[in-house]
C-alpha cells in the first residue's frame, strides 16, 4: 500500500496530502510530493501536527532550508531557521511588517537573490476570525491569457520595490524604517513573463510590482493591477482555512499568496523556507526607478 495519497483540491490548483508524518522524509514520498507540487502549486497536509524539528527535517529533505529570518524585520535571531508569523510582539518584534502579508505577494521578490523555491507553513494557533491563506496559481493565470496578451507581455520588465510592498500598510513609512527596508531589499527588475528552467511560463506579479521599464507609471500600475485581478480569479485560487496542526508547502516561484486579514495576536504560524537557484531578474537601475512615476 502506498505511503501517500494526494487528491486535487480544485481543478487548477491545490492538493490535499494524506501521509503519516513518520514517512514525511522517505525518499519516495519526497519524490511524489515534488511532482505533485509542480502540478498543483500548493499542497496541504491536514492536521499533520509536525514539530519544528520535523518541519525542518522535511524542509531539508524537500530541497534544503535557507534562513531568510536574519533579514526579515521582527524575526528573533534565536529562532534560527523557523520564522514566527504573528502579530504578537513577544514573538515577533515587528508585527507591522506581518501586516504586509494581507496583500498578494511572492516571497523574496524585491531582494537581490535567487527566488525562494518553496515556503512551508504550519498552523500552531489560529485567529478567532480571518487568517485563511489564499494561493493564486501564476502558471495557470498566464496559460489562460488570450494569445495576443501573451505576446504583448513577453519581454516586459517589472520593477518590484519594498516601498510598494509596504505602501498598503503605511502609506509613507517612517524614514528610519524605509532606510532599513531598503538596506535589505535592493528593488529588482523581474520579467513579467518568467520562463522557468522547466520551460513553463508564469506571471511574476504582486503588490510589490511598482512599475514597468519604458512604460508611463499610471499605465504600468494599471496593467499590474489588472493582471493581479486576473490571476486572483476564483478558478486560479485555492483558499486554505487552517486547522491547528495543518502544514502547507507551496511553490513560491509560481504562486502569489496572501492572508485574509485578522487582528487576533494569538495567531501563530511557523514558517520555513526552501532556497531556489533560479534568478530571473536583476537589481533595478536608479534611472528606471526614478522614472516609475513619470506620467508619459
Ligand atoms: Fe509570504
Environment class of 162 (CB within 10 Å of its CB; exposed 0-12, middle 13-18, buried 19+): buried
Q: What is the pLDDT of residue 70?
A: 56
Q: What is the pLDDT of residue 180?
A: 87
pLDDT, the chain, mean: 93
Q: What is the pLDDT of residue 95?
A: 81
Number of domains in the chain: 1
Q: What is the pLDDT of residue 69?
A: 56
258 C-alpha vs ligand 1 centroid, how far in Å?
Answer: 7
How many CB atoms lie under 10 A from the CB of residue 129? 11
165 C-alpha vs ligand 1 centroid, how far in Å?
Answer: 11
Q: What is the pLDDT of residue 84?
A: 87
82 C-alpha vs ligand 1 centroid, how far in Å?
Answer: 14
129 C-alpha vs ligand 1 centroid, how far in Å?
Answer: 19
112 C-alpha vs ligand 1 centroid, how far in Å?
Answer: 17
252 C-alpha vs ligand 1 centroid, how far in Å?
Answer: 9
Cell, residue 163: 516601498
296 C-alpha vs ligand 1 centroid, how far in Å?
Answer: 33
Q: Is residue 295 part of a domain?
A: no
Residue 81 banded pLDDT, cuts 50, 70, 90: confident
148 C-alpha vs ligand 1 centroid, how far in Å?
Answer: 31
CA dihedral 275→256→197→279, nearest 10 degrees, is: -50
Which long-range contacts link 289-295 to residues 24+ away (Cβ below 8 Å)? Answer: 289/159, 289/161, 289/187, 289/211, 291/211, 291/217, 292/159, 292/210, 292/211, 292/217, 292/220, 293/211, 293/217, 294/216, 294/217, 295/216, 295/217, 295/218
147 C-alpha vs ligand 1 centroid, how far in Å?
Answer: 30
Q: What is the pLDDT of residue 171?
A: 82
Contact 232, 136 (CB under 8 A): yes
85 C-alpha vs ligand 1 centroid, how far in Å?
Answer: 9
Cell, residue 147: 494569445
Residue 68 has pLDDT above 70, yes or no: no
CATH of the domain at 256: 3.60.130.10
- pTM of the predicted structure, to 2 decimals: 0.94
Residue 78 has pLDDT above 50, yes or no: no
Residue 79 banded pLDDT, cuts 50, 70, 90: low
107 C-alpha vs ligand 1 centroid, how far in Å?
Answer: 5
Q: Is residue 280 part of a domain?
A: yes
Q: What is the pLDDT of residue 77?
A: 45
257 C-alpha vs ligand 1 centroid, how far in Å?
Answer: 6
Domain that holds residue 238: 4-290
pLDDT tens, position by position, 136-182: 999 999 999 999 999 999 999 999 999 999 999 988 888 988 888 88
Distance between CA atoms of 278 and 281, rounded to whole angstroms? 9
2 C-alpha vs ligand 1 centroid, how far in Å?
Answer: 32
What is residue 287's three-state secondary structure?
A: helix
Q: Is residue 251 part of a domain?
A: yes
Q: What is the pLDDT of residue 13?
A: 98
210 C-alpha vs ligand 1 centroid, how far in Å?
Answer: 18
Q: Is residue 139 part of a domain?
A: yes
272 C-alpha vs ligand 1 centroid, how far in Å?
Answer: 11
Nearest to 117 by CA among 224, 38, 203, 27: 38
Q: Is residue 168 part of a domain?
A: yes
Task: Give the phi and the psi of residue 262 in degrees, each rounded to 5.
Answer: -145, 160
User: Number of H helices and number of E strands within the chain?
Assistant: 9, 17
Residue 74 has pLDDT above 80, yes or no: no
pLDDT tens, position by position, 96-106: 888 999 999 99
If phi > 0 it is left, if psi is from -120 to 50 it is alpha, else beta; for residue 73 that is beta
pLDDT tens, position by position, 238-274: 999 999 999 999 999 999 999 999 999 999 999 999 9
Amino acid at each position: 500500500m502506498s505511503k501517500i495519497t494526494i487528491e486535487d483540491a480544485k481543478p487548477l490548483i491545490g492538493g490535499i496530502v494524506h501521509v503519516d508524518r513518520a514517512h514525511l522524509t522517505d525518499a519516495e514520498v519526497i519524490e511524489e510530493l515534488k511532482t505533485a507540487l509542480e502540478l498543483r502549486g500548493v499542497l496541504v497536509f491536514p492536521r499533520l501536527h509536525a514539530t519544528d524539528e520535523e518541519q525542518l527535517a522535511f524542509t531539508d529533505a524537500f530541497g534544503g532550508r535557507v534562513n531568510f529570518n536574519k533579514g526579515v524585520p521582527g524575526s528573533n535571531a534565536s529562532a534560527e531557521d523557523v520564522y514566527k508569523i504573528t502579530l504578537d510582539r513577544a514573538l515577533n518584534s515587528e508585527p507591522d511588517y506581518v501586516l504586509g502579508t494581507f496583500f498578494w505577494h511572492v516571497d523574496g521578490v524585491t531582494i537581490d537573490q535567487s527566488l525562494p523555491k518553496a515556503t512551508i507553513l504550519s498552523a500552531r494557533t489560529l485567529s478567532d476570525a480571518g487568517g485563511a491563506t489564499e494561493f493564486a496559481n501564476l502558471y495557470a493565470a498566464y496559460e489562460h491569457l488570450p494569445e495576443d496578451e501573451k505576446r504583448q507581455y513577453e519581454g516586459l520588465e517589472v520593477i518590484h520595490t519594498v516601498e510598494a510592498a509596504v505602501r498598503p500598510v503605511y502609506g509613507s513609512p517612517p524614514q528610519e524604517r524605509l532606510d532599513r527596508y531598503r538596506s535589505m531589499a535592493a528593488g529588482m527588475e523581474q520579467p513579467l513573463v518568467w520562463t522557468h528552467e522547466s520551460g513553463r511560463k508564469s506571471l511574476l506579479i504582486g503588490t510589490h510590482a511598482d512599475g514597468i521599464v519604458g512604460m508611463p507609471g499610471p499605465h504600468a500600475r494599471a496593467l499590474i493591477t489588472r493582471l493581479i485581478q486576473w490571476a486572483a480569479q476564483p478558478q486560479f485560487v485555492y483558499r486554505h482555512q487552517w486547522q491547528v496542526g495543518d502544514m502547507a508547502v507551496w511553490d513560491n516561484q509560481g504562486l502569489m499568496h496572501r492572508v485574509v486579514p485578522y487582528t487576533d495576536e494569538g495567531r501563530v504560524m511557523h514558517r520555513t523556507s526552501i532556497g531556489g537557484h533560479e534568478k530571473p531578474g536583476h537589481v533595478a537601475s536608479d534611472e528606471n526607478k526614478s522614472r516609475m512615476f513619470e506620467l508619459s
